Structure 1
């Protein structure tokens, strides 16, 4: 299974997914604001926890720059709620168990893990502008140090 990768200038694929509490969150909810949409493999794993906590710790600066943050994984809402509560995460975590949104954004497909080709979630981050257009598309990002690099790239 291979998915098409998004490029800068593409219209961000729409989504409506349940959050940790089962409420529906849509990309269109962020119209008029910039939003970072990031995809991660699994809640409560070491790398994903580090990445989520980095976003949490930088949320005030991102918000001050008019940028919201949304995380998406294949995890069920109940698992996302535990993750959110354990790590005091204050941005939406969305559930995409059938991987439709992950695939549409190019964040699910073949990747190399420990030297083997596997199919799974490709850790990816996107900046979507106020009009729903992709301003940054980063695939195979590192869990650690990624948010700092993103802030440097965005001058936030």
Structure 2
């Protein structure tokens, strides 16, 4: 009978090994699989690099547009100044940055640069002072001539 138990132990180990290999294969497939079942490349929206900058002292609430195709804004409450952010904005959207000073007032200046070229600046001052800088992006990528 001892040989019967050895055979049962061996077949149990083999079954466990096969189950473990199957699980490892499924995990590896989940890590490697991109979820792109139709073989087409992912559609990417063309963007332009936009730099928002706010100079001054103290804090300000800053609202700016980033990568949202729907035009949703990102809000940073009580951002410490000076503040700077470079983001990609979808072509066809209007990049903008708005600043609002608090009840302590002060003075802050926003600037907007598209692809490294400064486009606009504005200054907010006083209690709850506001300023907005906007720009225009093309609706299609530029072509080389």
User: Which structure shows the higher strand fraction?
Assistant: 2
Instruction: Say yes or no: TM over 0.5.
Output: no
User: Which structure shows the higher helix fraction?
Assistant: 1
- Return the TM-score normalized by structure 1: 0.25
Larger Rg: 2
Higher RCO (CA-CA < 8 Å; seq separation 6+)? 1
- Return the TM-score normalized by structure 2: 0.26
